[in-house]
């Protein structure tokens, strides 16, 4: 089994919700910037991606990571989402919250309502950034539930699968190290939706070896699995898990 330095972790097959691995998955933990997954999901329930937002001076200069918004500039909700999910911008989170609900406090209420609706019974959120330490608590299991829900949104799935992008005339680079460090990332479809087909590519040899054991195949059988066939990203999660344990 892999050695994890994380105090709590969980690996879930995204379509079925099957837990493949867990470690202290129900232990209350600090949320930090993982709250921004919920921020993005709630923002898109109240804002159109093409909507333009004029940046209030109060939303700029927020401590911590930032997309460096400037007071008075006009940016789209979509660009703010890129700033939120690629560079973890606290200013982007604040802008989205205030544009969606009028204030950070009102938006935080919407966040907790959404978390409750998703069944995240052991988690509580105190702001859209993760900066506030008091009042925040999450579990790995609840965050997996949230992430599965968030990835059903095509725009969120597209953004988090993007290594780098230009948004609001800014060059943004994704802070998710997994996108950069894991060799053999499959060629994704244009939407990068985790539930759509992707080329098997570098996963071919591993998949052939594991197909009989896991029952995961592309085509009609393991013998038809080839680099040119397709599999779902949900199946790729299984391949990754097997790779971690090999």
Q: Which residues belong to the active site?
A: 33, 36, 88
**How far, CA to CA in Å, does 232 sit from each of 12, 19, 240?**
14, 17, 13
DSSP code string of the chain: -----SSSEEEE-TTT--EEEEESTTS-B--GGGHHHHHHHHHHHHS-TT-EEEPPGGGSS-SSS-----TT-EEEHHHHHHHHHHS--HHHHHHHHHHHHSSHHHHHHHHHHHHHHTT-TT-B-S-SSS---TT-BB-HHHHHHHHHHHTTSHHHHHHHT-SEEEETTEEEE---HHHHHSTTPPPPPTT--TTSEEE-GGGHHHHHHHHHHH---SSSSGGG--TTSEEEHHHHHHHHHHHHT-
């Amino acid at each position: 089994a892999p050695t994890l330095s994380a105090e709590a972790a969980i690996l879930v097959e995204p379509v079925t919700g099957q837990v493949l691995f867990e470690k202290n998955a129900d232990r209350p933990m600090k949320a930090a910037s993982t709250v921004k997954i919920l921020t993005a999901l709630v923002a898109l329930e109240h804002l159109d991606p093409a909507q333009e937002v004029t940046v209030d001076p109060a939303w700029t200069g927020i401590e911590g990571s930032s997309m460096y918004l400037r007071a008075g500039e006009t940016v789209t909700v979509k660009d703010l989402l890129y700033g939120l999910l690629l560079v973890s911008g606290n200013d982007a989170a604040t802008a989205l919250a205030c544009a969606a609900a009028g204030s950070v406090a009102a938006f935080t209420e919407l966040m907790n309502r959404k978390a409750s609706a998703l069944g995240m019974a052991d988690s509580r959120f105190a702001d859209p950034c993760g900066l506030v330490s008091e009042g925040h608590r999450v579990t790995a299991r609840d965050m997996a539930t949230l992430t599965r829900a968030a990835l059903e949104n095509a725009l969120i799935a597209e953004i988090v699968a993007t290594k780098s992008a230009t948004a609001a005339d800014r060059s943004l680079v994704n802070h998710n190290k997994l996108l950069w460090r894991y060799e053999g990332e499959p060629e994704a479809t244009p939407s990068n939706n985790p539930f759509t087909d992707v080329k098997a590519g570098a996963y071919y040899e591993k998949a052939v070896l594991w197909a009989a054991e896991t029952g995961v195949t592309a085509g009609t059988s393991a013998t038809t699995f080839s680099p040119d066939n397709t599999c779902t990203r949900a199946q790729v999660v299984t391949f990754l898990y097997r790779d971690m344990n090999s």
